[in-house]
Amino acid sequence: MTEMDTRERQVLDRIERARRRRPVVKDERVTLAHGAGGKATHTLIEAVFVDAFRNPALEAMEDGATLDVAGGRAVFTTDSFVVSPLFFPGGDIGDLAVNGTVNDLAVCGARPKYLSAGFVLEEGLPVDDLRRIVASMAAAAEAAGVAIVTGDTKVVQRGKGDGCYVITAGIGVLERDVSLGTATVRPGDAVLVSGPIGEHGVTIMLARGELDIEASLTSDTAPLHEPVSALLDAVPGGVRVLRDATRGGVATVLNEIADASGFGIVVDEAAVPVRPMVTGACELLGIDPLYVACEGRFVAVVDGDQADTALDALRAHPLGADAALVGRIKDDPPGIVLLKTAFGGTRIVDMLVGDPLPRIC
Amino acid sequence: MTEMDTRERQVLDRIERARRRRPVVKDERVTLAHGAGGKATHTLIEAVFVDAFRNPALEAMEDGATLDVAGGRAVFTTDSFVVSPLFFPGGDIGDLAVNGTVNDLAVCGARPKYLSAGFVLEEGLPVDDLRRIVASMAAAAEAAGVAIVTGDTKVVQRGKGDGCYVITAGIGVLERDVSLGTATVRPGDAVLVSGPIGEHGVTIMLARGELDIEASLTSDTAPLHEPVSALLDAVPGGVRVLRDATRGGVATVLNEIADASGFGIVVDEAAVPVRPMVTGACELLGIDPLYVACEGRFVAVVDGDQADTALDALRAHPLGADAALVGRIKDDPPGIVLLKTAFGGTRIVDMLVGDPLPRIC
């Protein structure tokens, strides 16, 4: 039967093709088919994601990754990244997405272990751009000692996205017996920042060409688990709260802590580390560096008596070399952050209102 | 000093305001400020998300949720949702996002426990729409017995998104000693589907107004952990693979299983449960129901000798009432899915190519 012959030939051809296959994405741009869950999606996943993130949990290609969570106490977090532009001096949306979730886990006192990665891609995104982003995620994951174990990709039509959004979730394990949280804060505690602030936000503004100035600034995007570990080791029981200072900047983190603890925070403006280029750019933009996002800095509230030990430990790590004691927790004014300005005055530092720097992360 | 009086008054006012505060979102539409990490973000989170998802891990309002993962073996998964329209008969992007991740955990054999929720909102989204979505997520989470313990919100400018994208990640615990995976599939195994296929996809197409027909179809979106549990309890050791049939439909799932196991799958078209309205709509659209997404149906490969017991167990649950045995695993043709058509012919069912139904989930 000719019909059967044709079918048999088709079957044999299909098998031969499958045997030879090593998935390759031939398209130059992302198409809606890449998000359809079919052949193009599979090729994209195998050729781009699995190839970059390679690990047994991910390669099992099941709907979820099976993990060993030793000890039983885990921390779970998620963060969405919509930064524009996708690539900027010092990083891109990929390492930002990995470091951001690693840092959320680190400031909860956990050792970051597993990440998921979701992608919302706009039709037309150059596949080479996606490759760069994914490569950067793989490198950041390796640097932070985490495995990207599960993921998902969707594609939206042109004009319904902006190239690439990346959403990471993360699991970390609590290996230390830490008890961090705003409820542990008390008057006399010291407020530290781990390094110069505002570099990420200002770098993004400059990368957008919104300021006609040349500057050699780079984003501070970095994984913070090591300096956090160093701090927790140096003053066990002495760390009250850790927060990475992303959107809304240090001012917003301090307001969150003041608001939740009910205590006041008095900050010495002169003690806050800010690079001159950041100060200058902020003056031109009419914004306060205290509100500008960092992606590799954190705020720590520590026992006031152990502040020097804490600072020494931070400064011993490259990512904490310029750490500084910037303020103190006070009884008054309750729930308020006050800044002692360089000119001897005092002003309230409120939480960020509006968005001077949209899509900074 | 008048200056001090003014400052003191400001401080006292601020404290009074903070005391009185119960966060309320006054805006009718989402603005970029809602994604800025500042005041508007906090208000949105407290008034909309925390209020809806209320649980101790989330209410701690730290950067991540601390969880007890009893037993130590966990499953981790993520899924992004870009469905258009946001609301459709039988559901919306909110319950879809919760059920989707619950189902990914369930088909890995895990009991779904914790979810994260990331939102990428487009400036201009009506806040009431967001409330509806969030309320629907909360209801779906309660129905599935999971807690949404951590989240994140970003806002992009008009024209850089499409109302609302929701990205969920989930953690489940493996309480059973199951060993699911395509490596366990063997010839003679039976292939089951848990109910009529294609209803979600066709419902979305109709909701878009792309077909000028009236139909009372609703999405099949549902949490599958209970029928999956019933199946695993009924034939312990007899379940090889479970997959929920979302994007790409049943045909894509079968191809994944055939491809990964190296065995063939022969499907009896007449045995595949499809509601007449789905068949009719698919004919008009020129698509095959086998490729249409379900959001509350799964494919199970089970030991051929235990197929009847497995079917009985599924049919005893409302979500599996129309479960059917649709095919068998065969030695030949290796890696290929063959369909025995209602007319006695045979054709290859390939993986989905292109995207006939973009943004179905």
Most A CBs within 10 A among B15, B77, B357, hence the mutation to make, goes to: B77
A70 within 8 A of A162, measured Cβ to Cβ: no
Q: Kindly determine whether residue A76 and residue B117, on different chains, have CB atoms separated by under 8 Å.
A: no
Query: Which comes out higher in pLDDT, residue B222 or A65?
Result: B222
Instruction: Mark yes or no for CB contact B352/A39 under 8 Å.
Output: yes
Q: Which of A80, A166, A353 to mutate to test the interface with B (most CBs of B within 10 A)?
A: A80
Q: Which residues pair with B57 in a beta bridge?
A: none
CB pair distance less than 8 Å for B252 and A38: yes
Contact criterion met (CB below 8 Å) for B321 and A1: no
Does B357 lie at the interface with A, CB-CB under 8 angstroms?
yes
Burial bucket for residue A24 (CB in 10 Å: 0-12, 13-18, 19+)? exposed
For residue B88, the tally of other CB atoms under 10 A from its CB is 22
Contacts (Cβ under 8 Å, ≥6 apart) of A41: A33, A34, A35, A153, B247, B248
CB within 8 Å of chain B, chain A residues 110-139: 110, 114, 116-120
A232: Cβ contacts below 8 Å, ≥ 6 apart: A109, A176, A178, A239
Question: What amino acid occupies position A92?
Answer: D
Query: Dihedral sign, CA of B282, B286, B287, B288?
Result: positive
The CA R_g of chain A, rounded to the nearest whole Å, is 24
Task: Identify which of A189, A328, A2, A41 has the alpha carbon closest to the alpha carbon of residue B80.
Answer: A41
| Cβ-based contacts of B77 with chain A (< 8 Å) | 63-65, 116, 150
Question: In the predicted model, is pLDDT for residue A220 greater than 90?
Answer: yes
The complex's ipTM works out to: 0.88
Query: Would the pLDDT of A314 be above 80?
Result: yes
- Domain A27-173 class in CATH: alpha beta
Angstrom distance (rounded) from CA B132 to CA A6: 54
The tens digit of pLDDT for each residue in A264-294 reads 999 999 999 999 999 999 998 888 999 999 9
Predicted pLDDT of residue A73: 77
Asked whether the beta carbons of residue A72 and residue B70 sit closer than 8 angstroms, the reply is yes
Interface contact B165-A120, CB threshold 8 A: yes
Q: Does A62 touch chain B (CB under 8 A)?
A: yes
> Cβ of A38 and B159 within 8 Å?
no
Contact A116, B114 (CB under 8 A): no
Backbone dihedral region of B52: left (phi > 0), alpha (psi from -120 to 50 degrees) or beta?
alpha
All CATH 3.30.1330.10 domain ranges in chain B, comma separated: 28-63+70-173
- d(CA B255, CA B168) in angstroms, rounded, equals 26
Mark out the alpha helices in chain A (DSSP H runs).
2-20, 39-44, 51-53, 56-59, 93-106, 127-144, 199-207, 225-234, 249-261, 276-285, 307-315
Between the two ends of chain B, the Cα-to-Cα distance in Å is 63
Q: What is the mean pLDDT of residues A28-35?
A: 79
Please write the tens of the pLDDT for every residue from A90-118. 999 999 999 999 999 999 999 999 999 99
- Residue A58, classed as helix, strand or coil, is helix
Q: Do the Cβ atoms of B334 and A76 come within 8 Å?
A: no
Cβ neighbourhood burial of B342 (10 Å; 0-12, 13-18, 19+): exposed
Cβ within 8 Å of A, B 239-268: 243-244, 246-248, 252, 256, 259-260
CA nearest A297: which of A216, A201, A230, A197? Answer: A197
Amino acid at residue number A183 = A
First to last CA, chain A: 63
Closest chain A residue to the Cα of B71, Cα to Cα: A72
Residues of CATH 3.30.1330.10 domain(s) within chain A? 27-173
Q: Is the CATH number 3.30.70.20 carried by domain A182-348?
A: no
> Which residues numbered 24-53 in B keep a CB inside 8 Å of some CB on A?
31-33, 35-42
H/E stretch holding B128: helix B127-144
Question: What is the full per-residue pLDDT of chain B (361 aa) written as tens digits?
Answer: 445 466 566 655 655 555 455 678 888 888 777 877 777 777 887 887 777 777 776 676 666 666 666 666 788 999 999 999 999 999 999 999 999 999 999 999 999 999 999 999 999 999 889 989 999 999 999 999 999 988 888 989 999 999 999 999 999 988 888 888 888 999 999 999 999 999 999 999 999 987 777 778 999 999 999 999 999 999 999 999 999 999 889 999 999 899 889 999 999 999 999 999 999 999 988 889 999 999 999 999 999 999 999 999 999 999 999 999 999 999 999 999 999 998 889 999 988 777 777 898 9
CB contacts < 8 A, A to B, total 322
CATH homologous superfamily for the domain B28-63+70-173:
PurM-like, N-terminal domain (3.30.1330.10)
Task: For chain B, say whether A334 makes contact (Cβ under 8 Å).
Answer: yes
Chain A: give the shortest CA distance to residue B76, in Å: 5
Cis peptide before A126 (omega within 30 of 0): no
Q: Report how far apart, in Å, the C-alpha atoms of B151 and of each of A301, B36, B166 are.
A: 24, 15, 10
Instruction: Name the residue in chain B with its Cα closest to that of A181.
Output: B62
> Which residues between 183 and 242 in chain A have a beta carbon less than 8 angstroms from any beta carbon of chain B?
none
pLDDT in tens, A317-357: 999 999 999 999 999 999 999 999 988 899 999 887 777 77
Q: Across the interface, which of A69, A105, A347 has its CB nearest the CB of B69?
A: A69
Residue A178 Cα distances to A227, A232, A311, A312, angstroms: 16, 8, 19, 20
Which residues of chain A are in CATH 3.90.650.10 domains?
Answer: 182-348
